[in-house]
Amino acid sequence: MTGVRLRKTLGLARRYPLVPATILVGIVTAVLGAVAPGVIGAWLAGGYALAVALWVAIGMVRELRSGRWGIDLLAVVAVVSTVLVGDHWAALIVVLMITGGRALEDFASNRAQDQLRALIDRTPRVAHRMGSDGGEVLDVPVEQLAVGDLLLIKPGETVPVDGDLLDDQAEMDESSLTGESLPVLHRRGDRLRSGSVAGADTLHLRAVALARDSEYQQIVQMVQDAAGTKSRFIRIADRVAVPFSAVSFLIGGLAWLVSGDPVRFAEVLVVATPCSLLIAAPVAIVAGMGLASRHGVVVKDGDALSKLARPAVVAFDKTGTLTRGTPEVARVEPLDGSTGTEVLAVAAALESGSAHVLAQAIVRAAADAGVPASPVAGLKERPGLGLEGTIDGRPARVGRPAYAGVEESPAGAGESVVYVALDGRPLGRIVLSDAIRQESGEVIARLRDLGVRSFMMLSGDSPATTGAVGRLLGIDQVRGGLLPGEKLAAVAAIDEHPVVMVGDGVNDAPVLAAADVGVAMGARGATAASESADAVILSDSLQPLADAVEIAQRTRRIALQSITVGVSLSILLMLVATTGVIPATVGALLQEAVDLITILNGLRAARLPRARAARPRTSGTLDPVEAPGGVRP
């Protein structure tokens, strides 16, 4: 344990060398003053302080060129003035405030991760290209594919470029593109988009676009473009830096003018360099980020946490965000005197031999209902139709209506239907849908209480399905049938800011990167959505979103409190310093006391008040009633 701590300490020292260097210079100066009184120690401390001031000044000029003003000018003038009046200890204390504050700020801002790594890693790199006669198959880089090439897609593989289907039909998983959790059936001649995933069958398609022009690669490019427009980490202190600096120089100049003693100017400027502006606000932000992570949300930088504290609009994807993202059995509808248990038992017996996403949902529902699984003989799968086998000597089928000998009946919005037959007669049908998360309603209500003025749903799913879910949850604006670029345009058109966008799939990556704050549902792995987002919810629940907003609001309040207290006490000390009763070194130590107060206040952001922490969380369960459009929560 000691070795681990030592390595961490050495790592921090290498990353922020000026902090230990300042401490070391102070120790050496003290030793020199004890064993060899004279000017050597003063020259060492003063020279080091001036060197750091020069380094800070160079950085300050660079920031001024980029249009950013901070409080570094006060720090530089305080160091120079204390050195010129011969108070090297005051100069070292100010330098320690500067270097320590920059180290803490850098630690907070560098929590951001590479936003594009997962998205780029998922990009198809190799394609199976067939000869013109459909013979020999060669693996080639996707960049070498040309329009018109014949491609083979194996089961479970990602389509590398946009192409037209050459087979009679194919079921594709398009959740990474549209967010639709249910498989999409395509027929011969349909356009298959890159990024979609093949089902259980080997597919053949003809390329209609180059890799760089295909759907998935364009998503990658949109994320890169959107991420490039993100704002940088901005210290809350910068908002008060200009007026505070002006007041400080005014008080110091008046003290010098009235007294005729330049030492008064140095004494005023030393107490005018509050650590509360350099450190306390970043400390509060880092503490708030740590608290959010303990509540299941990783916030990647302080700028995102600050914006998360005051969202004007919250926009949601539907599938996997407001809904669970996986199909579940909504209801069993028996026919001709059959029972629901019988329908579910036959279907589960046959589907237990399939890896299809709908099959898994049916088997899971049967197990949850305690329906026993019957043995099946002669199980066969008919691609695109369903499964058949013999149960207790009786032929059984499950799948499409014609295959089960049933006349197709309409399904509700967002529903898929599996038909069941036994002994050549229809037993009934099983309706599956993507269930709304139980906590979705409560989370939206909590966000309204926290000040969110408007809610939106932006989904690639059908308008009928999204409309039904939106009405059930009381969402203000609902838009369905959107492609990734259309989601991006919808968020860009929002007038109120900050805009928080919550999503999960690869299709959400561009809009998450472009929103003021992108929040990804990352419980299912390090997806491109989580990598392009500003915050990631680690659990498979929306509850942490409301927790994160509440934590961000409290953190922002505490950071502003620290700034207010620090500035107020600093101004009070400046006024006292104009009388000459506070030497520069004493003033620097008094300022450190002010800093300690504000830092301790900032650390309160690391924990919730006892009453809030002990408050029980309600389940937020929605009544299991039929919603408009046939969507069942």
Instruction: Indicate the residue type of 94.
Output: V
Q: What kind and span of H or E run contains 633?
A: none
Q: Are residues 272 and 137 in the same domain?
A: no
Mean pLDDT over 277-294 rounds to: 75
Q: Are residues 507 and 466 in the same domain?
A: yes
Q: In this structure, is residue 99 part of a structural domain?
A: yes
As separate numbers, helices (DSSP H) first and strands (DSSP E) second, the chain gives 24, 22
Assign residue 355 the CATH number of its domain: 3.40.1110.10
Name the residue among 301, 228, 240, 254 with its Cα closest to residue 552. 301
Q: What is the DSSP secondary-structure string of 184-225? A: EEEETTPEEPTT-EE-SS-EEEEE-S-GGGSHHHHHHHHHHH
The tokens describing 214, both together, are 């295909």
Compute the distance between CA of residue 438 and CA of residue 137 in angstroms, rounded to an integer: 48
Mean pLDDT over 386-398 rounds to: 92
Residue with the two structure tokens 């780029």: 120
Catalytic residue among 87, 317, 434, 508: 317
Decide if 317 is catalytic.
yes
pLDDT level of residue 71 (50, 70, 90 thresholds):
low
Instruction: Encode pLDDT of 534-576 as tens digits.
Output: 888 877 788 989 999 999 999 888 888 888 888 888 889 889 9
Name the residue among 501, 520, 469, 515 with its Cα closest to residue 628. 469
Q: Are residues 443 and 319 in the same domain?
A: yes
Q: In this structure, is residue 118 part of a structural domain?
A: no
Q: In this structure, is residue 117 part of a structural domain?
A: no
Q: In this structure, is residue 275 part of a structural domain?
A: yes
Instruction: Indicate the residue type of 333.
Output: E
Q: In this structure, is residue 115 part of a structural domain?
A: no
Residue after which a domain boundary falls, among 370, 404, 434 = 434
Give 107: exposed, middle or buried? Use CB within 10 Å, 0-12, 13-18, 19+. middle
Instruction: Encode pLDDT of 582-608 as tens digits.
Output: 887 787 778 777 877 877 787 788 777
Instruction: Encode pLDDT of 503-545 as tens digits.
Output: 876 667 788 888 999 898 865 544 455 567 788 887 778 898 9
pLDDT level of residue 174 (50, 70, 90 thresholds):
confident
Q: Is the pLDDT of residue 219 over 90?
A: no
**Predicted local confidence at residue 391, as pLDDT:** 92
Q: Are residues 194 and 144 in the same domain?
A: yes
Residue after which a domain boundary falls, among 417, 434, 451 = 434
Q: Are residues 414 and 348 in the same domain?
A: yes
Chain-centroid distance, C-alpha 499: 13
Chain-centroid distance, C-alpha 307: 13
Long-range contact set of residues 65-68: C-beta below 8 Å, sequence gap at least 24: 68/234, 68/238
Higher pLDDT, 475 or 55: 475
Spatial neighbors of 167 by CB under 8 A, at least 6 apart, are 188, 201, 203, 204
Q: Are residues 514 and 626 in the same domain?
A: yes
Q: In this structure, is residue 444 part of a structural domain?
A: yes
Instruction: Encode pLDDT of 322-336 as tens digits.
Output: 888 778 898 999 987
Q: Is the pLDDT of residue 115 over 60?
A: no
Q: Helices (DSSP H) in 277-385: which residue ranges? A: 281-294, 302-308, 340-351, 357-368
Compute the distance between CA of residue 507 and CA of residue 497 in angstroms, rounded to an integer: 23
Q: Which DSSP symbol is given to 495? A: -
Half-sphere exposure of 291 (CA within 13 A, CB side): 26
**Is residue 431 within 8 Å of 415, Cβ to Cβ?**
yes
Q: In this structure, is residue 254 part of a structural domain?
A: yes
Q: Are residues 312 and 245 in the same domain?
A: no
Domain tally, the chain: 4
Compute the distance between CA of residue 194 and CA of residue 216 in angstroms, rounded to an integer: 5
Assign residue 192 the CATH number of its domain: 2.70.150.10
Q: Are residues 132 and 191 in the same domain?
A: yes
Q: For residue 216, give its domain range.
A: 123-223
Instruction: Encode pLDDT of 221-249 as tens digits.
Output: 655 554 444 444 345 556 666 788 788 88
pLDDT level of residue 421 (50, 70, 90 thresholds):
very high
Assign residue 319 the CATH number of its domain: 3.40.50.1000
Q: Are residues 468 and 531 in the same domain?
A: yes
Residue after which a domain boundary falls, among 223, 248, 279 = 223
Mean pLDDT over 433-452 rounds to: 90
Q: Are residues 19 and 150 in the same domain?
A: no
Q: In this structure, is residue 116 part of a structural domain?
A: no
Q: What kind and span of H or E run contains 169?
A: strand 169-173
Q: Are residues 542 and 446 in the same domain?
A: yes
Q: Are residues 281 and 399 in the same domain?
A: no
Residue 266 phi/psi, 5-degree rounding, is -65, -40
Between vectors from CA 374 to CA 373 and to CA 380, what angle results, nearest 5°?
105
b/e per residue, 149-168, with b = 16+ CB within 10 A? Answer: bbbbbeeebbbbbbbebbbe
Q: What share of the chain in percent tops pLDDT 90?
A: 16
